[in-house]
């Protein structure tokens, strides 16, 4: 490289190369659909912002198996939320289900996370869904999925979430933000 580029330009070329390498790899952080309105499974959600994790929280029919639920939101939507206390259109959320165990290695107490068991995805997409919010499930083999019926997911999120359809009452870093902007429904916190 040194022989091909005049020494005076070398610094410039090097700086450009460093900039290129540092620019983020584009990831599908916005909802993407197939021709028949199925949502494509978000691929790189593990690189999004981690909101929180529940252990054995029970809000679905799968009682009995104590799972961890790890919640993620894309960086851009998180930044918007910090500025407004609201979720911008095209925000996606992933809740990742993982098994839990306490037996392994040097562990003597408590629980740690194990196998991936599937993800639930929530999308705010006002132009795509008349109900604005839509819900999907993916397992290992699912590349795309149709929205779940309203009764399966939408209604509970609509009735019990503290900020729009999102359970901010369980995400400790977001709760003070929503309270600051007055978008927090305090009643959602009451024990039911």
Among residues 118, 64, 128, the alpha carbon closest in space to that of 94 is found at 118
How many angstroms from the chain centroid is the CA of residue 41? 12
Out of 29, 45, 69, 74, which residue is the one contacting ligand HEC (CB under 6 A)? Answer: 69
**Distance, CA of 97 to CA of 14 (rounded, Å):** 44
Whichever of 74 and 120 has its CB closer to ligand HEC, that residue is 120
Applying CB under 6 A, which of residues 78, 87, 170, 184 lies at the interface with ligand HEC? 170
Residue matched to tokens 């869904």 = 129
50 vs 147: CA distance, rounded Å: 24
CB of 15 to ligand HEC, least distance (A): 41
Report the C-alpha gap between 140 and 115 in whole angstroms: 11
By beta-carbon proximity to ligand HEC, the closer residue of 60 and 114 is 60
Binding mask 81-120 for ligand HEC (x = CB under 6 A): ------------xxx------------------------x
Pick the stretch among 6-14, 35-43, 79-87, 163-171 that binds ligand HEC (CB under 6 A). 163-171
């Amino acid at each position: 490289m040194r022989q091909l580029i005049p020494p005076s330009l070398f610094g410039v070329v090097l700086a450009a190369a460093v900039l290129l390498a540092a620019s983020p790899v584009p990831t599908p952080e916005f909802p993407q659909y197939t021709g028949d309105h199925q949502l494509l499974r978000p691929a790189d959600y593990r690189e999004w912002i981690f909101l929180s994790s529940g252990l054995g929280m029970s809000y679905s029919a799968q009682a009995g198996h104590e799972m961890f639920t790890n919640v993620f939101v894309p960086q851009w939507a998180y930044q918007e939320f910090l500025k407004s206390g609201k979720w911008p259109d095209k925000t996606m959320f992933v809740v990742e289900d993982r098994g839990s165990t306490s037996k392994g290695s040097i562990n003597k107490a408590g629980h740690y996370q194990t196998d991936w068991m599937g993800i639930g995805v929530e999308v705010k997409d006002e132009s795509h869904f008349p109900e604005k919010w839509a819900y999907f499930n993916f397992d290992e083999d699912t590349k795309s999925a149709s929205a779940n019926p309203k009764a399966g997911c939408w209604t509970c999120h609509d009735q019990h979430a503290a900020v729009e359809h999102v359970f901010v009452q369980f995400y400790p870093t977001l709760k003070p933000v929503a309270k600051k902007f007055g978008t927090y429904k305090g009643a959602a916190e009451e024990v039911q």
